[in-house]
Structure 1
Amino acid sequence: MLPSVAGKLTPDAPLAPLVWFKSGGRAEWLFEPRDLADLQAFLQGLDPAVTVMALGLGSNMIVRDGGVPGVVVRLGKAFAGVRRLDAVTLECGGGASGILVSSTARDNGIAGLEFLRSIPGTVGGFVRMNGGAYGSEVKDILVDCDVVLRSGELVTLQNAALRYTYRHSELPEGAIVVAARFRARAGEPSAIQAEMDRISASREASQPLRSKTGGSTFKNPPPELSGGHKAWELVDRAGCRGLTLGGAQVSEKHTNFLINTGEATSSDIEALGEEVRRRVRESSGVELEWEIQRVGKK
């Protein structure tokens, strides 16, 4: 028996429509809390043995075909607000998109958050994964964040407590980011918009944005191990551009992106990624690490 909720609790919920790859199995339970109190009460009453996973926009995730056991939590409009706290600080809900955060920053003359415009996810995901692009990362702007622990307890964690490294944090297992404060610097809205436009144009020109994809597949390896080459260059040098497996393909446009060409299973996509890793290892000796989160049962 699961605790009663004020929001929406759906059994055997399809997850493929909620992730960018449009593939994968179902959630044993999908919980969309009405508000913070609803989320806390649910987690407090939930059997501690039941696993909990947060899902944002599903842009950097492979949901395996066997589905996700336990409860998947998806934050809705109640967690998607963004407001200015002071001249250079925004408070953002865990479900707010990068586009909304960067646009609100622009409107309030706050520069330094433009890079969030290029990351197709939510604040909760940015904070957990130390999201970054175009030379900036969340660790550079995060003041602190409000997190609901698996127990239902609400705590505030300072930036240092997350022990950020490249695309990684030490956020507690099962914890859900419900809000974060980002601090940057004062700027002119017109200049901020110009930088956002530059970033958008760069993404459009170099990435397969109109495909079923999951964003950057592999982390860029340390320069001392890769000879200064980024992940996409190693993949390209290994002859993987356009490589296919089932319905999955390495993008011709950007080789660090995998694509669902139509009917790919998550198994196709993950197996293609592993084949790319194998070829890069044989070609250059570099062991690529997955950046895309892979969840659920195969």
Structure 2
Amino acid sequence: MENNAAIKIFVGCDPNNSDLEQMMVLDYSVHKHTDTPVEIIWMQLSRDPESFWYSNPKAGEGWNTAKWATPFSGFRWAIPEYCNFEGRAIYMDADMVILDDIEALWQHPIEGQSIVAAKTKADMTRLCTCVWDCSKAEDTLLPIKQLRTDEDSHKKMMELIKKQPELIESYQDSYNCVDGEGLAIKDIKILHYSDMGTQFSHKYSIPRIEKEGSQHWFDGKIMPHPRPELSDLFDQYYQEALQAGYQLDDYRIEPFGSFPKKTHKRYKGNKITRPKAIKTVFSRLFKR
């Protein structure tokens, strides 16, 4: 397998400095567990026309985020072209705590027709932590121009992946452990605190950005996480990062400003953080 000199990790994050805490903890946790050189590329909407992530909503230029749930949902599909369809690249959302050597995920086999290694479960594929074989992806992914301008491009790519499961090399380890999934911390490789309403970083970021006169991009209801020991783990890594010399301002950029996206007013999280109540006999009979 041909490798890049450093592990390339592309991270989707907010362009208005709402995710600084997440970015710092992710950065620190990656380096805590590996001796391999790592290059992190923060994927954030930019007003710079020369940026790969350029967007000008008023002018209808660059990335169209109107139907995205996050400020970076569709960026993952552009990573292979960003890399000139060469080598490998890891993608992950910003809401991750790395608890194992990222080298193991980087080296994961991507064989046969597969273009990306990702988590699969039943009929669901999760590409919130995945490894691209950039050269193999070239003939499958939409061209960058369409990815940027078509407001449905993210949805189209997700539907394509679902229809062609042979494109996915399923990894069997917990490299995308969504909100704990009942696992002990020692068995988690990458903790993805995915439920946007229960994210551990909110208790730091919400007061900070309110003080700064801004608003968080998540506009849904904020709730406590059902596993306090995972919240404690985030706090531990947050403090360790600060003690190691990491600073929130290291990740701060000139704010992008407003951008169109889906609202989270009706956001329901996931079955792990918000298990559905047992249906009554009546509701089952009438499918309500």
Higher relative contact order (CA 8 A, sep 6+): 2
Shorter-chain TM range is under 0.3
Structure holding more strand per residue: 1
TM-score by length of structure 2 reads 0.28
TM-score by length of structure 1 reads 0.27
